[in-house]
Each structure stands twice: as C-alpha cells, then as structure tokens.
Chains A and B, each alone.
Chain A
Amino acid sequence: MECVFGLVGDGFVIVASDTSAVNSILVHKTNEDKIMKLDSHKFVAASGESGDRVQFTEYIQKNVALYQFRNGIPLTTAAAANFTRGELATALRKNPYMVNILLAGHDKETGPSLYYIDYIATLHKVDKGAFGYGSFFCLSLMDRHYHSGMSVEEAIELVDKCITEIQSRLVVAPPNFVIKIVDRDGAREYAWRESVKDTPIAQPEALGV
C-alpha cells in the first residue's frame, strides 16, 4: 500500500511518497517521512520493509557523507545510485534488503536526475518512476501528462493528480503524502498533503477533571 513516485522537471526533480507506517492492520503513524536527505543535493525516497528501509538508507547516507569527507567533493547522483545498487546486489543472495528506492539528485554539471532502484538491484535512469500499488495509477497518469521540461507548478499539478487518483482508486489508500524537491539550490521539503491529522490528546480540562 506504500506509494513512492517522482519525476524530473526543468532543472529539478520532484519526489513524493506516502507517509503511513503500517503493520498488518494497524497504522502506527501517518506522518512517517520516507524521503531521506542523502546530502545537500540528493534525496532517497524508499519504500518496503520499514526496518530494512531505515537501516539501508541510513547506511547509504553515512557512506555518502564519508566519501565527501575523504575526497573533499560530493558524490555525483549517478555515482550514489550505482553505489546503492551495488550494495543491494551484494546483499541480494545472502541477506536481501526489501527496499525499493527512487534516488533523486541535482548535479552542477549534469543537472537533475532520477534513478529507479528496486529491491533486486535493478538500476534505471528515468524521467519518471513509481513504486508500490500506487504505481499502477501514477505511471499511467504520468505517461499521459508528463512532458520533458515541466515547470514546478506543472509538476506539482501532476503530482497532485497522482495523489488524488491513488486516494480515490486504491482500496487501502494512504491518507497523507509528503512532496520534496531537489534543484540547483539544494534538497528541501516542498509540501505535505494531509487528509488525516493525528488526533490530539484530550486536555485534562476537557475531561471535566
């Protein structure tokens, strides 16, 4: 039921993911941020087993940081994607990580890029990608409406169309989504789309104490 999707626009990449943390029939929380900042200009949007997701993406994040300290310059998005794929591939036939990743980044020399990396270490450089049941709906919508060189407004419109489609057509649709953007100025959160907020704890006065 997890949904992660993203697309490349004019000088930027947008990634969106649902924010529900679920265990069987229980929803642990509805504001789980699954898009981790890898460095100043890269995001890793991951879906899959929550333990593996956090372990693996944090491991990648720390190795990306180590590279930067050792070499004085950051990894390119392509290099980070290939490194991530390599780690998944190495673990695959012993202890596979059940994590699907969309790696989004912006490099000064080559601009924005998006990489599709699935749990069996497939690596593709793509303009648009999606994981999860939501992908059945997102990919079709993106095929219909995407064109290269979209502006931020156009891209967000498409992202919102995808979210609306997921929420109306998927049987156990996640209620909330987070949208993040990477461009020349860095990686940052763009917006949340919330239809359910965590209920606040009742105050003592309200209980008539």
Chain B
Amino acid sequence: MARYDRAITVFSPDGHLFQVEYALEAVRKGNAAVGVRGTDIVVLGVEKKSAAKLQDSRSVKKIVSLDDHVALVCAGLKADARVLVNKARIECQSYRLTVEDPVTVEYITRYIAGLQQKYTQSGGVRPFGLSTLIVGFDPHLGVPALYQTDPSGAFSAWKANATGRNSNSMREFLEKNYKETSGQETVKLAIRALLEVVESGGKNIEVAVMTKDQGLRQLEEAEIDAIVAEIEAEKAAAEAAKKAPPKDS
C-alpha cells in the first residue's frame, strides 16, 4: 500500500526514539496503577478518576481478564488498551487451541510486548500509548507472577511495581516497604501504595485480587473502604506511637 510504508518512529541523532518517549509521556499522564505479587496472591490496583455524574461507572472496568488465570491493568491511552487487550485475549484462546494448555504469564507478556515493539518499527503506525501491568498464576507450577510492559516493547518481571501518574512516588514507597506477604497483607500493601498518590476512599480506587483457585475477583467498594479504614487506623496508631514514645520504667 503506497502511502502507509513511511516509518514514523525513527532515530534521532543522539539515539532516541522520540515517538516512544512521547508515548511514555502519555503513560505518565494516565491513571496511577499498582501491582504487587505475594506468595499466594497477586493484587492490582488502579485509581478511578471521579466518574462524571451521568456516566454509568459499571461500563468502565480498568482491570481486565485476559484468561481465567491472567489479568491486566494499564496506564495511558484507553482506546489503545482496548486494541491490545482484544489481541491478547484472542492469543490466549489461540494458544489454548494449538497446544491445549493455558498460556503462562510470561508468554502472554512477551506477546503483548512484542506487539508494542512491532508498532515502533512498522510503517504508517504510531506506538501504543500505554504501559501494562500483567498478573497471573503459572498454570503448571501455580506460582504467582507480575510483569510490566511499556510502549517501547520492553518487559520484565517484578515483585511490585507501579505505572501511570506519580508512579515514581509509588515505586519509592514500594521499595521502602516491600516484603514477602500473602493474602490480605498483600492487598493492604497495594492499597497503601496507591493511597500515597490517590485521594483515599473506596470510590476512587479499583482493586482486584487473583488467587490460584478463584481466579480474578474485583473487590467491592465496601471491602476497599474497610481496608482503607484499617490502613488509616494503623497510620494513626503509628503517628501516635511516634509522638508519645512509651516510657520505660
């Protein structure tokens, strides 16, 4: 096709791919998202920008299932996300059809990252403006996994990571406070990280947990509120303990 072979993403003299870097800017403007891997659970959290009054918030689900055992959240251009998620869902079923096995988290991450890279090296297209956090359980070994991809097509595995708005603050928090956790502790850590940059409250964050046996479960607003309340209580107790250290007699 004559008009669609011109490359749009090309190198600058000092070795930058500006289109990819601009795409990363788009990611930085996207909503904050966090992912934490525990020993038996993986948690995804994302900020929910206040819904417009007339909008039906149920139609805007940010944490999506790719297969029974893999889920994804992204930061950046939501329309680009739809395309990528659709292709990934097809690939998950296609893989099952060909080899009669569910995908590993690493495989589908590699596939998504491969797609993102292809669009940085093809004629007539621009890169996808989103980074993804992909979580899931290995279908054979049952171990939890968390991966991140970005517009350049790079991907790697993480114990905990954040992307989108203020991701640096969240990542710093995670680096300071991460430890191997399981179950509810992992959920709390993810929400605590998100609360560093998001207004607190169940209606401003969306949280989903995935376990090996029960797949993906979205937390209800009430559940999130309860955990947020727990976290605030713990924070208040810690503050109080700092201000008035117990007297050793």
B166 on the A face (CB < 8 A): no
* One of A59, A66, A72 near B90 (C-beta < 8 A): A66
**B93 contacts A62, C-beta separation under 8 Å:** yes
Nearest to B86 among chain A residues (CB) is A70
**B97 contacts A69, C-beta separation under 8 Å:** no
* One of B61, B86, B97 near A62 (C-beta < 8 A): B97
What are 10 residue pairs bridging A and B, where the CB atoms are less than 8 Å apart in the complex? A58-B97, A59-B97, A62-B93, A62-B94, A62-B96, A65-B93, A69-B65, A70-B86, A70-B89, A72-B61
B contact residues vs A (CB 8 Å cutoff): 61, 65-67, 86, 89-90, 92-94, 96-97
A-B contacts at CB below 8 angstroms, number: 21
Distance A72 CA – B65 CA, assembled complex (angstroms): 9
**B67 contacts A69, C-beta separation under 8 Å:** yes
Nearest to A58 among chain B residues (CB) is B97
Chain A interface size, as a band, is under 10
Nearest to A59 among chain B residues (CB) is B97
A50 on the B face (CB < 8 A): no
The 0/1 profile, CB within 8 Å of B marked 1, for residues 54-65 of chain A is 000011001101
Q: How far is the CB of B95 from chain A (nearest CB, A)?
A: 9
A:61-101 near B, CB below 8 Å: 62-63, 65-66, 69-70, 72
Q: How far is the CB of A55 from chain B (nearest CB, A)?
A: 9
State the 5 A-B residue pairs at the shortest beta-carbon distance, nearest first.
A62-B93, A62-B97, A66-B93, A69-B89, A65-B93
Which of A59, A69, A72 has the most chain B CB atoms closer than 10 A to its own CB?
A69
Q: How far is the CB of A47 from chain B (nearest CB, A)?
A: 21
Chain A residues with Cβ under 8 A from B90's Cβ?
A: 66
Distance A100 CA – B94 CA, assembled complex (angstroms): 24
Known: A69-B65, A69-B66, A69-B67. A63 touches B93 (CB 8 A): yes
Chain B residues with Cβ under 8 A from A66's Cβ?
A: 89-90, 93
Distance A69 CA – B85 CA, assembled complex (angstroms): 10
Distance A62 CA – B89 CA, assembled complex (angstroms): 11
Chain B residues with Cβ under 8 A from A63's Cβ?
A: 93
Q: How far is the CB of A87 from chain B (nearest CB, A)?
A: 14
Chain B residues with Cβ under 8 A from A59's Cβ?
A: 97
